[in-house]
Chains A and B, each alone.
Chain A
């Protein structure tokens, strides 16, 4: 690996100052499960790594009236070990169970997953489905942006030089809501999504009609996508094959995947529809307060 400097600031302000000082040649280091490999193979060569894992704000994992706060550096194992996440923000727990194996989950953070901005990142569709908002701190103050607007291309995002993702905040969960994330991979575990789908639904008190739904899609375009029309098509509709098929068709419509060794464009579009229906069905079961037949991480 090339030679670089390592800094471990103790406050967000200090981290931002360091980033600004090195003007584009410094990079935040969270769990390092993307970054260290990318540096080893020479794809990235920052002069300075700024370790953001020890910053209090980036380690928050708590719920309050504003919803759930997940610090950008919180590793996957803490997220799926959290009671609130498991009971209310289940899609996020599902995603964190899938990212790499157990060793990777000890270190990999959702902030790193989002900031690496891979089209197939497994936590991003869930964060979109759950209405996540990125809280960003930078030299000129703080700003917020919806998760679906964060990534701008493969490996690219809205962060300006010197900016740091501090946390992702999720709105409080309404009654009768449920969520799920699932991906299609050729292996049982440890692979990159051919298609990934996160969905969150809210049902009425009868559990028979949709109040609202949000769907996030991964690996089917240059960035993870918010399938807004697909989710909106469900509002006010009864829960049945017809409404699910309509949502699946709307999701297929916005998919513009590439053909690669994991699957052809046509295959990915087909799988998008199949997964959207299955993931919605699982989210519906959870919204009704029942358990889905699903083995975490598979």
Chain B
């Protein structure tokens, strides 16, 4: 009935081929089969955003995507954000601004922020809060997250104009 099948996609630029069952979510396959455990599982029902990845240019919650649906897709995960051991502006701003406590929401929020800044390089506080509404954080109270996102945006803008 549900024979395993081969699924091919790219993750952070690397071509991967995996054998999976239709019932496996993309989140499960990333974490359990590909050992990309930076993507977190919070609720597994689409509400918390901890499992956010970028699929063909759009942020999605990977707990509500079947791995078989990712056939041919280009995926970006938190593991693809830093360049080697150099953190990108968003990661650095989260560290500098202490925009995390336990950290379970952080990978999802950083990936979502990458999507936001690509769409809107100079977001207002309201833009940030709205774009990140699908990412829950039960530790920080969000203010430091919003400020870190805006700090990263500013840094990127300055870098781009130089």
Contacts and interface: CB of A to CB of B under 8 A. Distances in A.
Interface string B48-68: 010010010011110111101
A53 B25 CA distance: 17
A297 interface: yes
Contact of B21 (A3, A32, A36, A297): A3
A103 B68 contact: no
Contact of A106 (B44, B58, B71): B58
Given A47-B1, A102-B59, A102-B112, A6 B68 contact: yes
B69 interface: yes
A2 B24 CA distance: 10
Interface residues of A, number: 33
B47 A189 contact: no
B45 interface: yes
A77 to B, nearest CB: 7
B1 A32 contact: no
Contact of B22 (A5, A40, A101, A102): A5
A284 interface: no
Contact of B60 (A40, A53, A103, A188): A103
Contact of B23 (A1, A33, A188): A1
A294 interface: no
Contacts of A297: 130
B66 A102 contact: no
B20 to A, nearest CB: 10
A115 B49 CA distance: 25
Given A37-B64, A295-B126, A190 B21 contact: no
Nearest to B126: A295
Contact of B131 (A5, A47, A102, A188): A102
Contacts of A298: 130
Nearest to A35: B64
Contacts of A221: none
Contacts of B116: 102
A33 B66 CA distance: 11
Contact of B64 (A2, A33, A102, A189): A33
Given A29-B66, A36-B64, A189-B133, 9 more contacts: A3-B23, A8-B68, A32-B64, A32-B66, A37-B46, A49-B66, A100-B134, A103-B52, A104-B134
27 contacts: A1-B23, A3-B1, A3-B22, A5-B22, A6-B5, A6-B22, A31-B64, A32-B69, A36-B25, A36-B66, A37-B64, A40-B44, A40-B45, A41-B45, A47-B1, A100-B134, A101-B49, A102-B59, A102-B112, A102-B133, A103-B46, A103-B134, A106-B55, A107-B64, A188-B133, A190-B134, A295-B126
